[in-house]
Structure 1
Amino acid sequence: MSNVPHESAQASVSASLTQAVLHAATRLGLDRRALLSACALRDEQLADPDARIPFAAQETLWHELDARLQHPEPGLLLGRNLAPGPFSVLGYLLQSSATLKDALNAALRYQRLGGEGGELHVETGDQCLAVLYRPLHPQHPATRIRVLAMMACWVQITAPLLDDFHLLGAQFRHEQPADTAPYQDVFACPLQFASDDYAILLPHALCQLPLIQANPPLQQLLRQHAETLLARLPSASLSARVIGLLGEQLAHGEPDRAELARALNLSERTLQRRLAEEDCSYQQLLADTRRQLAEQHLRDGRLPAAEIALLLGYSEPSVFFRAFRQWTGLTPGEYRAQQAESSPGRATTPQTDPDQ
């Protein structure tokens, strides 16, 4: 995930995905024209399945649906009524993949075609593979209805592609609702609420199984089209590029701002000015990147905290421990233990770091 402070107004989402959501809402009895009007959208904007609309417009649509649908969890209801076809190239690309693992890799590669509101991540643990969803815009947390709809839709699309589809668990950031029956109807697995992430937990063996609709020739054509569509999308913001370079530099020690600026063909002063235009700074991005990577390594549970400190460019583990406590109010060991307790299906390795 990127903690890039994108302006959500500049982000876009797939017109075909928006069209699919509207079709589902119409089937559930809502007035399409009223929804379009509330979102300041027109049918012409959605006519081309490869077109894009503003992220903010689709987010308004989700809020309208949340208010209008009479259901304990409107997102789950919508997700079960979303068809893969209207997702255009991305949906067919996933369906025609050789295995579920290949489908997940394609989803990671081409996820921007669906939208820029959030990102999928895959974490591999000892007992399972976790597919996580995290928002791209820290100032706009993941909308519950949107995420639940996408999770339910993913299950709806994937289940028919495998003979023995089942989940090991499903995790949600929000508190447990009074009625969890709608969740069990969709996910049919152990549920965990008040989690750090929205996630679906899959058995490793499931990911290696061939998909029923695997179609290599079609897959090749779809990938070519997906690459063309991906190339049309606007380049990543400067802050996103900075975070990418920071990740590379951190692998070799303390990042160098001057070197990073040179890699971007900018002076240090221009770098700072342009980052300020995106409402962030070099130091903020460095701290955000370090925190994100630290939490990722600690959740994974494979590396000692002292080794993580070195991977993040800290000269001494104690400096990392202090920084991590400032970020989270916890020591790395406490954070790892908390994650292991809340996510028993993920990998954990006992640690003996001095700050545990």
Structure 2
Amino acid sequence: MTRPLTVSATWLVGVIEELARQGIEPSRLGASWAKHLEDVAPTRQLQLVQVRRLWQRAMQLSQDPLLGLKVGVALPLQSMNVVALVLMHSISLRQALAHTVRLQQLVSNSGRFLIEPASNNGVQLVYHITPSPAAMHPAQIDSLFAAYMRLLYNCMPADRRPTRIELPGTDACLADRYQVYFECPVILGVEQARVVFGAELLDSPWQAADPTLLRIVLGRAETLLKTQGRSDTLVDYVTAAIAAQGFSEANCDSVARSLDLSRRTLQRRLAERGSSFRQLLEAVRMSEALEGLADPNVPLVMLSERLGYAEPSAFSHAVRGHFGKAPSALRHELASSFFAGGKALAINSTESSDHQRTPCKADPTRCELEG
């Protein structure tokens, strides 16, 4: 079965707190859980679509092209949980990159890092975006790379930096601003983000690394990977059972019976994973709602009935609470996104070409990185 698309709550709590420091109140982000961060369990996995919609909303409210960098550079190390400790105590950059590829899903599977060869025996860490009906805003990628590279820079010798970094960027003319932060050449306007490392960086020892501590935190990371796998399997089974039984018919009792479990056992196992049957039912409904809203030929009333809502108003309320927009507005946004390119990451080609032809007019005071 397909692995559920989620992002760790530890990462998102850090992001939302930094957005608040940038002047964007959690209550304005359109996600109900974002308003009550104290109630979000650190082990909770939040839906990928919700997270991407949150970033889109944040950029609408901010209009600051460097918001992603500002958030990423200020994220606490705790946002990466055990992954941060593994990277910090890796013996070299080469080992840290290998651990990144293996453990990144503990933070998020919004995308996946892969190591590929580069020229002159170097390597490049390439970020492959996970396909989803909701677009991944370039600022979200900026935040990820800003936080990740800040961690690596704290481990690497001060005079060693990547050969270059390539990012989508929110404004191609701001490459010089990015270079000030990343301390290396930056290319903006690409579809696939990557960081290129020269061969001389890969095996230089990281003097502060502690091999004993690395073994301990790697053991913890492996345990979390196994736990995540078991959690995902149960979630997949429950999700599949809900879809098979139909949204109007599926309930906790019927799904538990189909999995040869008692209602109490199913509820307990889901609770251990920071979830509940009700949350999963609504998550499956909203995932199906996105697909239906992306098809303009499906009437909203028919979609509401298909998802088991007694009244269209109940469907509208659920969509607005989950995504921060009414069904009609979300349908228009999805249609515009797909028409513009039909990709998980869409850059406005008209704006990009205009930026290349005209000088950058961004306000330099607004564009300065903080911290």
The question of a shared fold, defined as TM-score above 0.5 by the shorter chain, is answered with yes
Pairing partner for 1:231 from 226, 235, 238: 226
Cα separation, 1, equivalents of 2:11 and 2:147:
11
Cα separation, 1, equivalents of 2:160 and 2:28:
38
Unaligned runs of 5+ in 1: 239-276, 280-356
**Maintained 8 Å contact 1:117/1:136:** yes
Unaligned runs of 5+ in 2: 238-287, 292-371
> Residue 172 of structure 2: SS of its match in structure 1?
coil
**Maintained 8 Å contact 1:71/1:77:** no
**Maintained 8 Å contact 1:131/1:199:** yes
Cα separation, 2, equivalents of 1:102 and 1:237:
32
Pairing partner for 1:136 from 124, 130, 133: 130
- Aligned position for 1:253: none
> Residue 226 of structure 1: SS of its match in structure 2?
helix
Cα separation, 1, equivalents of 2:236 and 2:124:
28
Cα separation, 1, equivalents of 2:170 and 2:48:
26
Cα distance, 1:196 vs. partner?
4.7
- Aligned position for 2:37: 43
Cα distance, 1:237 vs. partner?
7.7
> Residue 192 of structure 1: SS of its match in structure 2?
strand
Cα separation, 2, equivalents of 1:27 and 1:93:
28
Query: In 2 relative to 1, CA 59–176 (structure 1 residues): closer, same or farther, beyond 3 Å?
Result: closer
Cα distance, 1:183 vs. partner?
1.1
For 2:37, give the aligned amino acid. Answer: D
> Residue 32 of structure 2: SS of its match in structure 1?
coil
Cα separation, 1, equivalents of 2:26 and 2:9:
15
Are 1:77 and 2:70 matched, yes or no?
A: yes
- Aligned position for 1:219: 214
Cα separation, 2, equivalents of 1:58 and 1:212:
37
> 1:171-201: per-residue Cα shift (whole Å, max 9, x none)?
1346862332321122232233343521111
> 1:21-71: per-residue Cα shift (whole Å, max 9, x none)?
122223323323444xx21213255332x3212112222221122122352
Query: In 2 relative to 1, CA 47–191 (structure 1 residues): closer, same or farther, beyond 3 Å?
Result: same
- Aligned position for 1:165: 160
For 1:67, give the aligned amino acid. Answer: Q
Cα separation, 1, equivalents of 2:57 and 2:135:
17
Are 1:183 and 2:175 matched, yes or no?
A: no
> Residue 122 of structure 1: SS of its match in structure 2?
strand
Pairing partner for 2:195 from 200, 203, 225: 200
TM-score (norm 2): 0.56
Cα separation, 1, equivalents of 2:110 and 2:227:
18
- Aligned position for 2:92: 99
Are 1:31 and 2:25 matched, yes or no?
A: yes
For 1:119, give the aligned amino acid. Answer: R
Cα distance, 1:77 vs. partner?
1.8
Aligned pairs for 1:281-292 (under 5 A) are: none
Cα separation, 2, equivalents of 1:225 and 1:157:
20
Cα separation, 1, equivalents of 2:90 and 2:77:
14
Cα separation, 2, equivalents of 1:138 and 1:23:
25
Pairing partner for 2:56 from 54, 63, 72: 63
Cα separation, 2, equivalents of 1:134 and 1:178:
24
Question: Which of the pair has the greater relative contact order for Cα pairs under 8 Å at 6+ separation?
Answer: 2
Q: Percent identity?
A: 20
For 1:122, give the aligned amino acid. Answer: I
> Residue 195 of structure 2: SS of its match in structure 1?
strand
Cα separation, 2, equivalents of 1:172 and 1:24:
21
Cα distance, 1:139 vs. partner?
4.5
For 1:40, give the aligned amino acid. Answer: S
> Residue 174 of structure 2: SS of its match in structure 1?
coil
- Aligned position for 1:54: 47
**Maintained 8 Å contact 1:20/1:87:** no
Cα distance, 1:217 vs. partner?
1.9
**Maintained 8 Å contact 1:40/1:57:** no
> 1:242-263: per-residue Cα shift (whole Å, max 9, x none)?
xxxxxxxxxxxxxxxxxxxxxx
The structure carrying a bigger helix percent of its residues is 2
Query: In 2 relative to 1, CA 174–72 (structure 1 residues): closer, same or farther, beyond 3 Å?
Result: closer
Query: In 2 relative to 1, CA 237–143 (structure 1 residues): closer, same or farther, beyond 3 Å?
Result: farther
Query: What is the alpha-carbon root mean square deviation over aligned residues?
Result: 2.8
Cα separation, 2, equivalents of 1:196 and 1:71:
20
Cα separation, 1, equivalents of 2:102 and 2:221:
10
Cα separation, 1, equivalents of 2:88 and 2:69:
21
Cα separation, 1, equivalents of 2:147 and 2:80:
11
Q: How many residues align structurally?
A: 231
For 2:128, give the aligned amino acid. Answer: R
Cα separation, 1, equivalents of 2:236 and 2:65:
38
Cα separation, 2, equivalents of 1:31 and 1:58:
16
**Maintained 8 Å contact 1:132/1:198:** yes
Query: In 2 relative to 1, CA 125–180 (structure 1 residues): closer, same or farther, beyond 3 Å?
Result: closer
Query: In 2 relative to 1, CA 103–54 (structure 1 residues): closer, same or farther, beyond 3 Å?
Result: same
- Aligned position for 1:17: 11
**Maintained 8 Å contact 1:15/1:45:** no
Cα separation, 2, equivalents of 1:169 and 1:149:
17
